[in-house]
Structure 1
Amino acid sequence: MVILTSVLTTGALTLTACGSRDNNGKSGDSGNTTVVIGVDAPLTGQNSATGLGIQYGAQIAVDNANKNKTVPGVTFKVKALDDKALPATGQQNASQLVADDQVLGVVGPLNSGVATQMQQVFATANLAEISPSNTNPELTQGKNWQTKKVRPYKTYFRTATTDEFQGGFAADYAYNGLKKKKAFVVDDKQTYGAGLSKIFKEQFTKQGGKVIGTDHVNVGDRDFSTLVTKIKNSHADLVYYGGQYDESQVLTKQLKDGGAKIPLFGGDGMFTPTYIKTAGKAAEGDLVTSIGVPVDTLPAAKDFVAAYKAKKYPGDYGTYGSYSYDAATAIIKAVASVVKDGKVPSDARAQVVDGVQKANFEGLSGKIAFDQYGDTTNKQLTVYQVTKGDWKSVKSGTFEPKS
């Protein structure tokens, strides 16, 4: 994603320690205190199917907390902002959330490139941010993460494991599971896609495979005829794509229509029913990696899936919905340790950050806990393949990168 030259450093706005708020957020001595959990994701346009899954995953967590009175004296609300998958918009949204003194934590964003422009805004305000989907290692471990890991921001966490594992897991399965030896690697030039492709290339080569061609596309591209010709002429037996479903669902169709009957393999940015719906029969046999294990195999997630369907929420809950639910739950649990009898201390945001760091509970997606970098300790991954028009899991496990 585009890296802006300036980052807004909005000062922290603190909540009053005296009195409480009613449900309209007004100060008073009776009624509930309102605590807001912000959500930032693409809710329209590019990547919106997965973005809406994030919004409503968090919403269900909030609904459950209110129904169960998880934090006595507190009513939770969601404030969802649309970043349109644009870093500059995400930065503006971060400033807007910081300026709302009822916001004690934020779920999001979807895109790693957007996160790069939000992190410092939240850090300056001591506001906890938990992404259910960011996978770029730099966000938690610094630019030189492969040689020296340094956590840039103590306010940033994620419930998704990183590309270090996801890219390697894909490479291992491509070489040892699919027995593919020659890969053509494409990315969309964005933080997420380029980073994922780089790690796939490194690990595929270390497994014994050969990367026989590379290329890049632009976000929004719809004509891939030149790229299809390159891939066909390379005689690759696999295409690895680093990017989102919006472009890859068109690329795979043009690839198959062009006579290259080879699978397209990508990351969790492709893991949505929209990919199959758009690509049609061309998607058959294509693969993705995604974080965690299949949501429908987790007993704890059954009520979540049922609630999502019953409320007829839009978007795709299967990709990041449960991870968003768990991110919101981590914030809610941290608020529970901070707010007593409906009273919000003046340093509530900083205390919530500390509370999130200490998170340790069973979530919908598995064990929720964070290491010293803010990364999830849950490294489970799954390979899915399009089989008879649906994503079917073919392998779950963990991966240790080859050095």
Structure 2
Amino acid sequence: MKIQLTTLAAAVTLFAAAPAMAAETVVKLGFAAPLTGPQAHYGKEMQNGVVLAVEEANAAKTMLGDKVVRFELKSEDDMADPRTGTAVAQKLVDEGINGMIGHFNSGTSIPASRVYSDAGIPQIAMATSPVYTSQGYKTTFRAMTSDTQQGSVAGKFAVDKLGAKKIAIIDDRTAYGQGLADEFGKAVKAAGGEIVKREFTNDKATDFAAILTNIKKTNPDLIYFGGADAQAGPMIKQLKQLGIQAKFMGGEMVKSPTFVSLAGDAAEGAIASLAGVPLAQMPGGNDYAARYKARFNAEVETYSPYAYDATRAMIEAMKQAGSADPSAYLPKLAAIQFAGITSRSIAYDAKGDLKSGGITLYQVKGGEWTVMETVQ
């Protein structure tokens, strides 16, 4: 009799739990970034931020309306290649994602954004090119401040604070690198500086001797590079080998441990700008860093806090709408306002750009990136 009662009780328990289990709904979030190749370290750190946000949301048993949902991350490697990025975007759409975090590069985010727009799927990308949110799509949102803001701050800083009057610019001809260099150049001219040389390379190059030799003839005070650390590291080493005395400056893709590692002693004194404030000054920076270290056994580098906040913004919009249907939560995302890790107020303007966010200038000292100044 005891055995029968125990069996009956177990059956009743399972039956009672069945509705709750059945009520759990899967919500698919897409993610894409370079996960292989020379820019993989950017993409993997960005991915970690998304993973952490998704895991925390699942652990909290997030409710959309009266249903418990489980977020499922669908990750793809776009190889930092525009054509691959577009193919990846279509694959994710075909798999039925409810929202998209990524891509990382402007060059992949911009063409992929049309795919997501056509499907009505909200996209929050790390892309900083002004073009990304200037296409008129209602589905595009940005995780970091645009190159318009960063380039203008960096250009003015170079002239006013670093005393650079004659400036040479090199870019890698990607949407990111060229766009950032263009905005930097505009700001230099507006501040009274002179662009004495404009050169370009590509995002696969490692030999910059010819470019730097041409630049050396102009005797610049500063050389600005719009591009990634994989090119910036060898570039600054060759700059030093050629005896060029100019300061070296770049954007956020230069501000990485990889740049310092590739450049070695030549990295000393290099300057880079980065959207936002330093991690320790972010509203939730220290707590985030501890949770990140516990989960991934690694230090936060640059992009993961922004990817984390982007994921939380999308999930928060779904919660406010009580639905993961893109058409239902898109208006909520456009009007979102919440306290994030990177900012006390995550909110977007009519184009999908962040309404607030400072720019911080860093310099390599003693083999480490150190804060120079934050411009709000």
The answer, yes or no, to whether TM exceeds 0.5 is yes
SS in 2 for 1:268: coil
Q: Is the 8 A contact 2:130 2:148 kept in 1?
A: yes
Separation of aligned partners in 1, 2:233 and 2:22: 53
Matched residue, 1:349: 326
CA contact (8 A) 2:283 2:342 kept: no
CA distance in 1, matches of 2:309, 2:215: 40
AA at the equivalent of 2:31: V
Query: Following TM superposition, by how much is the alpha carbon of 1:30 offset from its aligned partner in structure 2, in angstroms?
Result: 1.1
Corresponding position of 2:266: 282
> C-alpha separation between the residues in 2 aligned to 1:372 and 1:299?
25
Give unmatched runs, 5+ long, in structure 2: 1-19
Q: What corresponds to 2:185 in structure 1? A: 201
Could you tell me which residue of structure 2 aligns to residue 134 of structure 1?
Answer: 127
- Report the counterpart of residue 312 of structure 2 in structure 1: 329
In structure 1, give the amino acid aligned to 2:52.
Answer: I
One-letter amino acid of the counterpart of residue 46, structure 1: P
Counterpart for residue 120 of structure 1: 114
Deviation readout 1:117-169 (Å, 9 max, x if unpaired)? 111110111101001x2111111124xxxxxxxxx200010021111111111
Residue aligning to 2:100: 106
RMSD value, Cα: 1.8
Partner of 1:264 in structure 2? 248
1:304 aligns with one of 288, 304, 316: 288
* One-letter identity of the residue aligned with 1:271: K
Hey, what's the Cα distance between the residues in 1 that align with 2:94 and 2:322?
20
Residues 3-36 of structure 1: CA deviation (Å, up to 9, x unaligned) = xxxxxxxxxxxxxxxxxxxxxxxxx971521112
Residue 352 of structure 1 deviates from its aligned partner by 2.2
* Stretches of structure 1 lacking an aligned partner (at least 5 in a row): 1-27, 143-151, 399-403
Q: Which residue of 1 aligns with 2:363?
A: 385
Whether contact under 8 Å (1:290, 1:381) holds in the other structure is yes
In 2, Cα distance between the equivalents of 1:52 and 1:317? Answer: 11
Kept in 2: contact 1:43–1:52 (CA 8 A): yes
> % of aligned pairs identical?
34
How far off is 1:311 after superposition? 2.4
Distance 1:39 1:29 in 2: 27
Q: Cα distance, 1:294 vs. partner? A: 0.6
Q: 1:313 to 1:94 in 2, by over 3 A?
A: farther
Match of 2:109, as an amino acid?
A
* Alignment match, 2:29: 37
* Paired residues of 1:159 and 1:368 also in contact (CA < 8 A): no
Count how many residue pairs are aligned between Structure 1 and Structure 2. 354
Question: Match for 2:111: what amino acid?
Answer: Q
1:149 equivalent in structure 2: none
Partner of 1:319: 302
For the Cα contact (< 8 Å) 1:253–1:282, is it kept in 2? yes
1:1-400 equivalences under 5 Å are: 30-71=22-63, 73-101=68-96, 103-131=97-125, 133-142=126-135, 152-312=136-296, 317-339=300-322, 348-366=325-343, 367-398=345-376
How big is the shift at 1:214? 1.1
Larger Rg: 2
Matched residue SS, 2:72 = strand
Q: CA deviation at 1:219?
A: 1.8
Alpha-carbon distance in 1 for matches of 2:297, 2:132: 30
- Is the 1:205–1:211 contact (alpha carbons within 8 Å) kept by the matching residues of 2? yes
Query: Which structure's residues are more often helix, by fraction?
Result: 2
Distance 1:312 1:322 in 2: 14
Larger RCO: Structure 1 or Structure 2 (Cα < 8 Å, ≥ 6 residues apart)? Answer: 1
